[in-house]
Chains A and B, each alone.
Chain A
Amino acid sequence: MDALIDVRSLCFRYDDGTVALDGVDFQLYPGETVAIFGANGSGKTTFVLHLNGLLMGGGAITICGNAVNKQNLSRVREKVGVVFQDSEMQLFMPTVLEDVAFGPLNLGLSREEASERALEALKQVGMSGCAARAPYHLSAGEKKRVAVAGILAMRPEILVLDEPTTFLDPPGQRSLIELFESLPQAKILVTHDVECARALAHRAVFFEKGRIRGEGSVEDIVARFNWDRTVIRRPTSSRH
């Protein structure tokens, strides 16, 4: 089976000299969800920014058979939908509907098609009632859903979710996980949230200092890198 995303020897250094990616090889196959774990600063977001050509480093990336380069940018951005960590930065239009229609309009769809797609995407994320509202009046969970709708309206084949559950309360996290479960696309899920990865991911990779240090099932990776916040309490006699 051909990989949807094929990354070979990806390297990237920021202008200030920070080496953020140092030889990453990665594949995503149709229908699967891969969790990306790793400490803060290990290069996860930098990696994500390469998947739709927002950053371009050394090495090679192929998305659904298209090399990521200047000529293919619009095709690649149509295939890979990235939901960024901070939804505040994804919502910039005056109303929710206009915001969600922003991507489809950029794809060259007519106003009618764009607004149809936007309404459909809003329905998919359970936000139909908010089409006419201003995005900055929404709660964090609602903003995230609208940001996801803005991506879904472009009908991408691949969803990349960068720490999607971060700013949400537990019920908000749960319902977002349920939403992602219901979406058929192949997904890359960058997260610190092991529960979220357990619920959604078929396998996981572990980033460290710009490289992939391990690959396996979510449980394998969590055990191997001690990637869990459960505190093991030693029994003490003096406590009551």
Chain B
Amino acid sequence: MHHVVLDRWGCGLSPVHRRDPRAKMLAALIFLVALATSHQSYLAVSAVYFALLVTAIFAAGLPPAAVLRRAALVLPFSLVFAAMSVASGDTTRAISLVVKSYLSALVVLVLVSTTPLPQLLGGLERTAVPRFLLLVVQFLYRYLFVISEEAQHMRAAAAAKGGSMGRVISRRRHFGAAAGAVGVLFARSYARAEAIHLAMLARGFAGHFRPLAKSSFRKLDAAFLAGAVAAIVLLRAAIEAWT
């Protein structure tokens, strides 16, 4: 319970979870490119891609409503840009922006919730991604789950003192207190992330995650990748030929 939900989802044992991280990353990448470059019939393509992702979510045994809700976190950002497009008279572009950004967030979310981060990073290390970027991602990972945990502790402490973080933050006159709480949250999270980093160094960590699970690219992984790519490319081609 005291953990980031992604980490918990990532530990599943479904067929999707068991695929090689590289196969999943490549499939997600092709999905993103196919989505971004579809123009005339992008709405139909998006609908079909959405169905593909929902299938993946069910196959992975993830809670569909929760996943779909989490992906909506990008919407506030894309809505701002959409509003700018509408203002300049380009409604089509606005809709396409919102739809595509949501689907992009969803595919990335499905990827990270079916691949534990150390595995994902291990997979990335064997691609051409710069090492610096990997270190940043590692740090963010440590930092994010620590922040969420600290927030839970602080919420528990606030509740014990008869308050609630939500109430504290929602009342404007308590804004100062809330800002203080957020400050403490970050300071504590930073200290904890540092402590975790030290514990990793103490066990000989030198910047590479070396996954224990053998991630040899098996026939099943190749089949998964081929199937996913075929679905992504052929469905789009079929829709475009038909309209």
CA distance A106 to B205 in the complex (A): 6
Interface of A is mostly: helix
Chain A neighbourhood of B192, CB < 8 A? 89
Interface centre among A90, A95, A97 (most CB of B within 10 A): A90
Determine whether the beta carbon of B3 is less than 8 Å from that of A136.
Answer: yes
Determine whether the beta carbon of B206 is less than 8 Å from that of A89.
Answer: no
The answer, yes or no, to whether A210 is at the interface (CB within 8 Å) is no
Q: Mark B1-43, 1 if CB is under 8 A from A, else 0.
A: 0110001101100000000000000000000000000000000
Determine whether the beta carbon of B199 is less than 8 Å from that of A84.
Answer: yes
Looking at the assembled complex, report how far the CB atom of A148 sits from the nearest CB atom of chain B, in whole angstroms: 12
The answer, yes or no, to whether B61 is at the interface (CB within 8 Å) is no
The answer, yes or no, to whether B116 is at the interface (CB within 8 Å) is yes
Report A109-148 residues with CB < 8 Å from chain B CB.
111, 114-115, 118, 134, 136
- Given contacts A54-B198, A84-B199, A106-B203, A101 and B11 within 8 Å (CB-CB): no
Chain A neighbourhood of B142, CB < 8 A? 92
Determine whether the beta carbon of B203 is less than 8 Å from that of A154.
Answer: yes
Chain B neighbourhood of A94, CB < 8 A? 7, 10-11, 116, 118
Determine whether the beta carbon of B204 is less than 8 Å from that of A103.
Answer: yes
Determine whether the beta carbon of A111 is less than 8 Å from that of B214.
Answer: yes
Determine whether the beta carbon of A54 is less than 8 Å from that of B203.
Answer: no
Tally A residues with Cβ within 8 Å of B: 33
Determine whether the beta carbon of A111 is less than 8 Å from that of B212.
Answer: yes
The answer, yes or no, to whether A38 is at the interface (CB within 8 Å) is no
Q: Of B118, B206, B211, which one neighbours A106 at CB under 8 angstroms?
A: B206
Chain B neighbourhood of A101, CB < 8 A? 212
Interface centre among B142, B202, B214 (most CB of A within 10 A): B202
The answer, yes or no, to whether B93 is at the interface (CB within 8 Å) is no
Looking at the assembled complex, report how far the CB atom of B206 sits from the nearest CB atom of chain A, in whole angstroms: 7
Determine whether the beta carbon of B201 is less than 8 Å from that of A102.
Answer: no
Looking at the assembled complex, report how far the CB atom of A96 sits from the nearest CB atom of chain B, in whole angstroms: 11
Chain A neighbourhood of B8, CB < 8 A? 134
Q: Of A107, A115, A134, which one neighbours B212 at CB under 8 angstroms?
A: A115
The answer, yes or no, to whether B131 is at the interface (CB within 8 Å) is no
- Given contacts A94-B118, A114-B212, A102 and B198 within 8 Å (CB-CB): no
Chain A neighbourhood of B3, CB < 8 A? 134, 136
Interface centre among B192, B200, B203 (most CB of A within 10 A): B203
Interface centre among A74, A86, A92 (most CB of B within 10 A): A92
- Given contacts A89-B195, A115-B212, A77 and B11 within 8 Å (CB-CB): no
Q: Can you report 21 residue pairs joining A to B where beta carbons are below 8 Å apart?
A: A77-B201, A77-B203, A84-B199, A84-B202, A86-B195, A89-B196, A89-B198, A90-B199, A94-B116, A101-B212, A102-B200, A102-B203, A103-B204, A106-B203, A106-B210, A107-B204, A111-B212, A111-B213, A111-B214, A134-B3, A136-B2
